[in-house]
Amino acid sequence: MSLTAQRPLDLPEEIESAVPLRTLGASPVIYRKRLEGPPDPPAGPGDLVALVGSRDETLGFGYFNPKSEIMIRVIRPGEAPPDDLFWDRLLGQAVQLRRDVLKLDQVTDTYRLVHAEGDGISGIVIDRYGDTLSAEAFGLGLFQRGQAILERLAEVVGTKHWVLRPGPYTESQEGYTAEPITSPDLPRSAVVQEFGTKFRIEFIGGHKTGFFCDQRDNRRRLADFTAGKSVLDLCCYTGGFSITAKNLGQAAEVTGVDLDEQPLKIARSNAQLNGVKATFVQADAFAYMRDMIRNGREYDVVVLDPPKLIRNRAELDEGTRRHFDLNRLAMQLVKPGGILLSCTCSGLLQEADFLRLLYSASRQAGAPIGPADDNGFQRRGPREMQLLFRTGASPDHPVSASHPESDYLKAAWMRMT
C-alpha cells in the first residue's frame, strides 16, 4: 500500500500496537525523544496506536510516524479510542463554534472550519470556500485519513466538493510528499465573499488552502482607516487587503505589490469582480520600497504582510533581520500621521521580539541625516511610532491551552508621526 493511500477513520478493534510513554502531557504532539520504546508490535507510518504508561494503563491514542521528529500526534487522550461518536462530536463542536458562537455565516461564506490543535485534530487544517472544503495536512496519519474527515465534515455543513493537499515541508518534516486529492467534480475555482467583498479562490496551486482566512477581521478593520486615502499593500498575494481597502474602505488609490505573477492575476480578477480599480505590481518588496523611497513617494496607509520568513529555529536570526529591514523601509513610506499595519505569520517570532524590532526599526526610519552614499541612500534619524493596538488571527483560528505554540499570527497597528 502506498504511504499516502487514503484510509478510513480507524475502528477501535483495528488498534494493534502500543507505544510506551512515561506520561502523556498536555500537548497533542509527542516528539521522538519522549518515547520510552518502540511500538509493540511494530507499527507502520500513519497507524493509529495506543499510548500506554509505566503501569500498562492506557493514556490515549494517536497517529504514529517513525519518519518524523513528531512521532505521535495524539488524537484522543484517555482510555476510550476514537470511535464514530468521538469524530461526530469533535467535528460538530468545530462547526458549532463557527456557526452558532461566531455566527460567521452572517458575514461570509469562507472561513476556517478546523484549525488543527485549536480544534483537537493535530496535523490538519480545513477551510470552507462556499461549496468546497479545502484541507492541508501536515501529519502523515491525518493526510491518510483526510478524505474520510472531509467527507464526514461535508455531511455536517452541506458542502459538495473537497480538495486535500500536503502541507509545506512535509517531505522534510514528515517523510512524505503527495499530489492533491480531490472530489470527482471539484471546480477549478469559486467566488466567495466576506463583508460584501468578493474573492476568487483557485483550488489547485497557490499557497496554503487557497486564501488567508486568518486575516479576515484585520482586513475589515483596515477599511476603517482607508476612506479617501492612498494605500500600499506589500506582499499582497491575491489582493485581500487591497480589494477590501478599495471596495469596503473606499480608498482613493490602492497599489498592491507581490513577487509572484500568478497571485497577481487573481488579484486583478478580484478587482474586476468588485468593479473597483487597483494597481498591482510584480516586484520584490525590498526593491520596490527602495525605489519609492528614492522617488520620495509616501502613502497614507501601508500594509506589510510578508510570507513566513522563519520556518525553523535555524532561520530565526536571519528571518528576524528580514522583518526588521522590511519594516524599516515600510515606515519610511508612511506619510506623517499615517497608518502602518505590520504582520508576521512566523510563530517562532515571539510577540515581544516582534514589537521590539518594530520599535528599533522606527528609530532608523526618520528624516535623512547627512549626505547620500554612492547608492543614493542617506542615514536616517529616529521617527516617532505610536502603537495603537495589536491583533492576531480571526477567531475561527482558535488557540488551545494545550498547544499555545499555534498562536502564530501577530499584527501591529501603528501611527507614524
Residue 28: asked if its preceding bond is cis (omega within 30°), the reply is no
Please say if the pLDDT value at position 207 is more than 70. Answer: no
Average pLDDT over residues 53-68: 94
Average pLDDT over residues 65-74: 95
Give me the residue label for grid cell 492575476.
265
Amino acid 356: pLDDT: 96
In tens, the pLDDT along 4-27 reads 999 999 776 678 899 999 999 899
Amino acid 372: pLDDT: 62
Amino acid 41: pLDDT: 93
DSSP state at residue 99: I
Average pLDDT over residues 35-58: 94
Cell of 311: 520556518
Please say if the pLDDT value at position 73 is more than 80. Answer: yes
Please say if the pLDDT value at position 380 is more than 60. Answer: no
3-state secondary structure of 378: coil
DSSP for 148-217?
A: HHHHHHHHHHT--EEEEEEPTTHHHHTS-----EE-TT--SEEEEEETTEEEEEESSSSSTTSS-GGGHH
DSSP state at residue 97: I
Instruction: Detail the DSSP E strand segments found in 230-298.
Output: 230-234, 253-258, 279-282
- Which pLDDT band holds residue 210 (cuts at 50, 70, 90)? low
Give the domains, in start order, of the chain with CATH numbers: 12-77 (2.30.130.10), 84-186 (3.30.750.80), 212-416 (3.40.50.150)
- Which pLDDT band holds residue 35 (cuts at 50, 70, 90)? very high
* Encoded amino acid at 354, one letter: F
Percent of the chain with pLDDT over 90: 86
Average pLDDT over residues 381-393: 90
Please say if the pLDDT value at position 204 is more than 90. Answer: no
3-state secondary structure of 314: helix
Average pLDDT over residues 89-115: 97
Dist. CA 36–CA 215, nearest whole Å: 41
Dist. CA 166–CA 178, nearest whole Å: 6
Amino acid 368: pLDDT: 58
In tens, the pLDDT along 229-251 reads 999 999 999 999 999 999 999 99
Least Cα distance to 204 among 132, 252, 138 occurs for 132
Specify the pTM: 0.91
In tens, the pLDDT along 251-282 reads 999 999 999 999 999 999 999 999 999 999 99
Least Cα distance to 202 among 255, 278, 262 occurs for 262
Q: Angle 257-261-266 (CA atoms, 0-180°, nearest 5)?
A: 85
Average pLDDT over residues 75-103: 96
Give me the residue label for grid cell 507510518.
45
Amino acid 156: pLDDT: 96
Cα four-point dihedral sign 104, 133, 63, 394: negative
Amino acid 206: pLDDT: 53
Please say if the pLDDT value at position 406 is more than 90. Answer: no
Amino acid 364: pLDDT: 86
- Which pLDDT band holds residue 2 (cuts at 50, 70, 90)? confident
In tens, the pLDDT along 118-154 reads 999 999 999 999 999 999 999 999 999 999 999 999 9
Average pLDDT over residues 71-86: 95
CB 407 within 8 A of CB 415: no
Amino acid 205: pLDDT: 65
Please say if the pLDDT value at position 353 is more than 80. Answer: yes
Cell of 370: 547627512
Please say if the pLDDT value at position 410 is more than 70. Answer: yes
Mean pLDDT across the chain, nearest whole number?
Answer: 93
